[in-house]
Amino acid sequence: MAKKKSQQRGPEDLGQKLLSRIEKSPVTQLVLAALFVAGIIACAASITTKTQIAVAVSAIVVFLALKRFNNIETIRVLYLILAAFLSVDYFYWRTFTTLGFNDLLSFSCAMILYLAELYGFVVYILSIFVNIDPLDRRPIPLSKEADAKPPTVDVMIPSYNEDSELLEVTLLSALQMDYPKDRFHVYLLDDGGTDQRCNSPDPVLAEKAKKRRVELQALCAKVGANYLTREKNVHAKAGNINSALQQTHGDLIMILDADHAPTADFLQNTVGWFIKDPKMFLVQTPHFFINPDPIEKNLQTFTQMPSENEMFYRVIQRGLDYWNAAFFCGSAAVLRRKYIMEIGGISGDTITEDAETALTMHARGYNSAYIAKPMISGLQPETLGGFIGQRVRWAQGMLQIFLLKNPLVLPGLTLPQRLCYFSSGFFWFFAYARLVFLLAPMCFLFFGLKIYNANFVDFAAYCLPHLFAVFMVSDFLFGHVRWSFVSELYELMQSVYTFPAMLKVLMNPRAPTFNVTAKGETLTQDFISPLARPFYLFLLLNLVAIGFGAGRLVWGNIGDRFPTTITMCWAAFNVFILLAAMGALLERRQRRASPRMPANIPARVRVGDKSYVATITDLSISGASIQIDAAYETIFRTDTKADFIVQGNNALSGEPFHFVVRNARSEGSLTNLGVQFQHKDLEELKRKVLLVNGSSDRWISFQTNREKRLGVTRSAFFLMSCGIRFSIEHFAHLMIESNVRQPSPAYHAGGRSSN
């Protein structure tokens, strides 16, 4: 019978089967891609410049036509392959045509620039590969009937020096997750109250640690969580978690940073994948932040533009998930204890223990999953110093992995996984490339060094189509979550400080130590960041270089006019990014430690014996804005005590939330109140925490409202307008500071930090 069926199968069926195998085989896809690239190189080596222009123009026309069909998978792949064609074609020409030897100094500078371009080319091609088909993995909800006894979960919240108010919110959010209460336990892992710190020879440190231990033990007893600490502070966060693993027994481990409050549906949306796939070791979810990072805050883009982290959490992790390479991000994740214990717990050879652990587990053949639904709300550093310190640690840790556990040679990984991990680690060399691109124009405009040998026709035939493809692909893949030129700004601001830190790792891969990132700081007034000085120098150099270029155009050789014009445009682009950096380096005051996020919650406000229809329009753990559907009355005056009841089909409906009015203003037939919560007891505090942090739909709505694609041109104008406006404010503030000669004010840390 089998033979008969085989005989009846026609060529068309065999072809479909072959295509199906190709589609499902990553290795086959890579082989075909390699053959495709080889074909491009063979073609590029044999065509004339005129033919190249015709090919490039034709490719761009097709490129633009295909962009309209982003949602069709086959068209999407063709679009990206065509983009790769234009870039591979350029880089072949760049390598074998433009690196002529003029003199030793010129050639040395030319090679430094070439290596920076090579970095960009490799990252670009890897990005196309990683994001060829991002996986939109859906949660598998737990059925209360079918899964009467789901896996047990130990929720672990590592802490070092965060204040008790912050920890209380995270603990209460975790304790109120929608999961059978006898199937999960919440643990606070206190590394600030270890025996080592309590017995420190420094009496101040010892007293502080003892006080902290007593305070957090009382907090855990009050809310119903478990307090754990350990003997010594070894191996930082990884050591803290591993110590807790020896004292707990749950099937699964959920890890949360101290400032990461989970929504009620977190476990409902993640545990199902462990039941479905016995080889699943990790389910990772996005890190969603309720406050702007320092660059967003200082440029005032938080509510207008997608956050910098959304490119990774909304696209790249989904792309990695397609190749079974989504990795652990340190928090907002669930891991299977059995498999983690096979490797002795969380890895600790590097300071990015999360990615290192995932790499080790993938090499053992286990699977990971990424669910792109925001189900935690966390805090970002408030100052550029905290932000840069965090990114320096990430850069050093990923470079450590690259050197100590290189994914290209680590046994057990599939080829796509190797490329994905290589991409994630190699990306952090952007510091080298950004600094080279920032300084390279001076080589020609100041000193006349020949760093890029090309005439106008060849440049137009090869380089311009490549640049067009790079910007279009970036917008195509990430435009809805990362506007054009935003990456240039963020990477430039990090490069000055990550580059020397990475050199230290190259010299001694085991040198970096784990540093905790400060969170929840408050800034009392505007001030210029202490990190600004190098950027003044870079801005001055590029402006002077443009002036030198203008002189070359007027008095220089006619033959140098083309390279001079191109290099001046390059320097002008650097100035454009540096002006935006100037705006971001003016730190804005931040007095509110609990960030307000938009809300749209129907409520009824009760003041005395009166009741009003109202809507809660924004919300934080400390207060809210309430819009009352009634004209202003004296009853709404400051310091009035009142409460509201949530309306609608809501688990919190019917229970009061007490508050005091801090300000009131009339807007026609409406009244807007700014209120401060004043909960009466622990039960009301629990309800408040659930109201503020319990709904993932609220975070999804905020993301969706910011998600819009501007395109390359509009993005450039947006960032340019921000740069001009806020750089003017920066230099005006600099003049005021110089006249007053007051030091930059310190910030109030508020005792909050996180990993």
Catalytic residues: 191, 354
Asked if 711 and 197 touch (Cβ cutoff 8 Å), the reply is no
Asked if 248 and 187 touch (Cβ cutoff 8 Å), the reply is yes
Beta strand 753-754 with 517-518 is: antiparallel
Name the DSSP class of 312. Answer: I
How far is residue 573's CA from residue 567's CA, in Å, rounded to a whole number? 10
* Residue 614: φ, ψ to 5°: -150, 165
Q: Which residues pair with 523 in a beta bridge?
A: 590
DSSP secondary structure of 696-718 = HHHHHHHHHHH-----HHHHHHH
Residue 599, C-beta contacts closer than 8 angstroms, at least 6 positions apart: 616, 617, 618, 619, 624, 698
Residue spans of beta strands (DSSP E) within 371-522: 376-377, 517-518
Helix (H) or strand (E) holding 369: strand 367-370
How far is residue 352's CA from residue 401's CA, in Å, rounded to a whole number? 8
**Per-residue CA distances from 236 to 160, 189, 274, 425, 706 (Å):** 9, 12, 28, 22, 36
- Identity of the amino acid at 595: P
3-class DSSP state of 145? coil
How far is residue 261's CA from residue 165's CA, in Å, rounded to a whole number? 12
- Identity of the amino acid at 519: K
Q: At what angle do helices 415-426 and 104-130 cross, to 10 degrees?
A: 130
Phi-psi region of 456 (alpha: psi -120 to 50; beta: other; left: phi over 0): alpha
How far is residue 439's CA from residue 470's CA, in Å, rounded to a whole number? 21
3-class DSSP state of 405? coil
- The sheet with strand 333-336 has its strands ordered as 226-228, 184-190, 153-159, 252-255, 333-336, 280-284, 367-370
Joined together, the tokens standing for residue 508 give 């001694």
Asked if 397 and 355 touch (Cβ cutoff 8 Å), the reply is yes
How far is residue 424's CA from residue 130's CA, in Å, rounded to a whole number? 10
Dihedral sign from CA coordinates of 352, 357, 360, 366: negative
3-class DSSP state of 474? helix
How far is residue 192's CA from residue 472's CA, in Å, rounded to a whole number? 49
Asked if 614 and 644 touch (Cβ cutoff 8 Å), the reply is yes
Residue 401, C-beta contacts closer than 8 angstroms, at least 6 positions apart: 350, 352, 355, 356, 359, 407, 421, 425
